[in-house]
């Protein structure tokens, strides 16, 4: 049962990274940081927070329940594999939002 919960949390984290990537791609290229924050940026940052929370909770469940070492290492490896795209999408989102108006 808990294996399904952990797999579900990783699936949610993966989907949230996908949503964040799509939302980041829709931030206007001519966005000026003196204007109101675009809705796409709010969606992207919220999705990144959901992805981070889902991955951390999944690893926390795996380690707290004292799973066999192999399962715990697999859960940690999946979380590490999700960290790369998470940082990449977060970097692109921050870059798009940091443009000056001049």
Q: What is the pTM of this model?
A: 0.83
Q: Where are the domains of the chain?
A: 2-97
What does the pLDDT look like over 26-49, one tens digit per residue? 988 778 777 778 888 899 999 999
Phi-psi bin for 66: left (phi > 0), alpha (psi -120 to 50), beta?
left
Give the residue among 10, 78, 89, 7 at the shortest CA–CA distance from 46. Answer: 89
Residue 89 scores a pLDDT above 80: yes
Evaluate if residue 55 carries a pLDDT over 70.
Answer: yes
3-state SS class at 88: helix
Q: What is the pLDDT of residue 79?
A: 87
Instruction: Tell me what percent of the residues of the chain surpass a pLDDT of 70.
Output: 94
State residue 35's pLDDT score: 73
């Amino acid at each position: 049962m808990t294996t399904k919960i952990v797999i579900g949390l990783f699936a949610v984290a993966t989907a949230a990274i996908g949503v964040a990537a799509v939302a980041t791609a829709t931030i206007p290229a001519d966005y000026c940081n003196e204007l109101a924050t675009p809705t796409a940026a709010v969606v992207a940052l919220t999705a990144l927070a959901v992805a981070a929370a889902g991955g951390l909770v999944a690893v926390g469940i795996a380690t707290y329940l004292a799973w066999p070492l192999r399962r715990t290492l697999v859960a940690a490896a999946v979380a590490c594999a999700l960290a790369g795209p998470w940082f990449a999408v977060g970097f692109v989102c921050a870059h798009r939002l940091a443009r000056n108006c001049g």
